[in-house]
Amino acid sequence: MSFDVEAVRKDFPILSREVHGVPLVYLDSANSAQKPQVVIDAEADLYANHYANVARAVHTLGSEVTHAYEGARDKVAAFLNAPSRDEVIFTRNITEALNLLAYSLSNATSFPGAEKFKLGPGDEIVVTEMEHHSNIVPWQQLAQRTGATFRWIPLTDDGRLVDEAIDEVINERTKVVSFVYQSNALGTINPVKRIVARAKAVGALSIVDAAQAAPHLPLDVQDLGADFVAFTGHKLYGPSGVGVLWGRYDLLAELPPFLGGGEMIETVDMTGSTFAAPPHRFEAGTPMIAQAVALGTAVDYVTDLGIENIHDHEHAITGYALEALASIPDLRIIGPADNVDRGATIAFALKGVHPHDVAQLLDEHGIAVRAGHHCARPVCVRYGIPATTRASFGVYTTTDEIDALVSGVRRVQEMFA
């Protein structure tokens, strides 16, 4: 089936609006993707027709909403090719998913039977230099709480991991390796299986940040082989406020819980409590019910379009954009300049113009891009720049929009010349 971008665009109501009197050109999907009407409807339908709390009411609405919520878990499990639906945990976003892991690991210090997860002085936690702050800060904090050492795999000048460093930084002292599948700041797609294999070889837990990968690449947890994979709903055309942590069942069953409260318990006594089995062990309190259900609809939407079709479309758009941007003088692409192992996110610096000026001027022509360090400040430090301008693409991005970006950037250059 060929991919009909014009038909896809009709699914997204926001794409027909104007900004500053011109049609919106939305090139900020890596920040957050727009929502198709079916996702908006799914959330509204749940509230309008089926709403109650999940998992506790015996009445009809309670049963319908629980069915819908657990149905979303089934959809996500299928999307990830997870061996079991009980391996899918709903979180607020990927930041919470990664913090859940970091706090559960530090709770292992005093949790009976969780000795294998215990970290301490002499142990090492490894990330990469291209991580989002959400995959840096929780691990720095875990290192601080446990006395473990925080380490990272450095970057090459063209925005890839230094290959030799993978085997060197991940060593017999490593207990946790947490890394990004596709970089939000550079667009780089990392060699997930190679890093997972190295982590396994030294007996470390492997965690994949798939926030940017989930909307663009097939995400098969059995094929990737990692211990944990996390993503967020709002970048996958789903609602804000819901994310997913997938983990191997045997690990989740032994991992101490993070948040305590309702629905995560087996039994509660004033003298102590025992905890439910996964996934509910990690879903304390009333969850993001409508958002999870609508995320299930977003997963259906993406699956119906076909993740392979989406990938092919975006790969073509990225190639077109890389070539077009490369033709602009004084524009430096920050990240891989070739369209190999890179996703639909292109960051660049324009000589003599601050990225905030670029973004604001583009906005005056209806073009939405992001400017800043993209919550990956170490990347900017690595390349000696204060910030970048970033254009990122999705299922609805057209070559006309890339042309608008290119002429917009040229207009910015003329103004600041």
Partner 1 sequence: MSDESVYQQIILDHYKHPQHRGLPDEFDTQVHHVNPTCGDEVTLRLRLAGDTVADLGWEGEGCSISQASTSVMSDLVVGKSVDDALALQAKFLDLMQSQGHAELTELDEDELEDAVAFEGVSKYPARVKCALLGWMAMKSAVAEARLLSEGNNS
Residues forming contacts to partner 1 in the complex (CB under 8 A) are 20, 353-354, 356-357, 360-361, 364, 372-373, 386-387, 415-416
Residues contacting residue 137 through CB under 8 Å, at least 6 positions apart:
none
Q: Which of 375, 398, 403, 416 is catalytic?
A: 375
For the packed helices 94-107 and 137-146, what is the interaxial angle rounded to 10 degrees?
10
Report which secondary-structure segment, H or E, holds 203.
none
- Closer CB to partner 1, 208 or 412, in the complex: 412
Annotated catalytic residue 375 = yes
Return contacts of 48-53, CB within 8 angstroms, 24+ apart.
Answer: 51/289, 51/290, 53/286, 53/289
Distance of CA 368 to the CA centre of its chain: 20
Nearer to partner 1, 45 or 364 (CB): 364
Omega before 279 cis (within 30°)? Answer: yes
Q: How far is the CB of 372 from partner 1 (least distance, A)?
A: 7
The first and second tokens of residue 298, run together, are 């977003």
Nearer to partner 1, 292 or 371 (CB): 371
Which CB atom, from 49 or from 360, has the smaller least distance to partner 1? 360
Minimum gap (Å) between residue 373 Cβ and partner 1:
8
Report how far residue 91's alpha carbon sits from residue 259's, in angstroms, rounded to the nearest whole number.
11
* Beta carbons of 120 and 146 less than 8 angstroms apart: yes
Q: What are phi and psi of 328, to 5 degrees?
A: -85, 125
- Two tokens at 266? 């087996």
Minimum CB distance to partner 1 smaller for 150 or for 416: 416
The Cα 298–Cα 311 span in angstroms is 16
Least distance between partner 1 and beta carbon 397 (Å): 24
Closer Cβ to partner 1, 239 or 355, answer by number? 355
Q: Quick one: tokens of 241?
A: 């406020």
Distance CA 234, CA 138 (A): 21
In terms of Cβ atoms closer than 10 Å to its own Cβ (0-12, 13-18, 19+), residue 58 is exposed
Kindly write down the DSSP assignment for every residue of 129-144, as one continuous string.
TT--GGGTHHHHHHHH
Which two structure tokens, joined as six digits, stand for 17? 């609006």
Active site residue ranges: 375
